[in-house]
Amino acid sequence: MLTKRIIPCLDIKNGRTVKGVNFIDLRDAGDPVELAKQYANQGADELVFLDISATLEGRGTTLDMVLRVAEQVNIPFTVGGGISSVEHVDALLQCGADKVSINSSAVKRPELVNELSNKFGSQCVVVAIDAKQINGQWKVHLAGGSIPTEIDLFEWAKEVETRGAGEILFTSMDHDGTKNGFANEALSKLSETLNIPIIASGGAGSVQHFIDTFEEGKSDAALAASVFHFGEIPVPKLKEALKKNNISVRL
């Protein structure tokens, strides 16, 4: 049985970690490098850093932060935010990132997924998809969730898989920051549709929610922010609980 992964997510704005509800009402959650070190020491499997204002501000993710993180942590980490070219990804990987996450840029130019996969390997390419339900249909949103599209979540996920994406990071905007649990029905459907790993994001509020997304949502990894940043669920306690529920994790 494949080991399930626990991934703290650090949303970065102006060099600080922030967290909101439904993608708005952001509050400060600390220094990203210090938090990263803390999570690595606690036994997190990976980290994700998302420069949440990079796309809206029309710039790339800061290389300086990536360098500082790489110096301090010994677990894989993914970087996303405003990434739109092979050159930018090359620079991020050179600075120490293990993977990159692309979102809006992939929708605007789907060939980018092929280019990155061909150049760096699919294991480096995470396609992040922010979606919410509109009239019962999951629709993809861009630019930090601020721009709705008519693109269907499941069709888009399938397309990027065929283009060479190595993983899908699916965030339910309806569940984000609510602490009411992950979008397990959609996650389960994604898992049945695709052959690549699915990272669940949006809605973690209790240990049970993580158990549910692994069992009901068939997720390969679970990503969360505020429950980790504000000390509500320590990573070691979460992993022990998962193990007790016969969910394979790395302790």
For 20-38, the pLDDT digits (tens) are 544 445 556 578 888 899 9
State the CATH architecture for 5-244: Alpha-Beta Barrel (3.20)
d(CA 69, CA 141): 29
* Known active-site residue 45: no
Above 90 in pLDDT, residue 55? Answer: no
Average pLDDT over residues 179-190: 97
The catalytic residue among 11, 45, 212, 220 is 11
Q: What's the average model confidence in pLDDT over 105-129? A: 97
Strands 47-51 and 24-30: unpaired
pLDDT reading at 59 higher than 60: no
Q: Do 97 and 70 meet the contact criterion of CB atoms below 8 Å apart?
A: yes
- 11 has catalytic annotation: yes
Q: Which residue has the tokens 């993809």?
A: 140
Confidence of residue 81 (pLDDT cuts 50, 70, 90): confident
Give the active site residue among 45, 51, 130, 220: 130
The token duo for 136 is 């019962």
Confidence band, pLDDT 50/70/90 cuts, at residue 19: low
Q: Distance between CA atoms of 112 and 194, rounded to whole angstroms?
A: 20
Tell me what the mean pLDDT of segment 125-154 comes to: 93
What is the average per-residue pLDDT within 226-235? 91
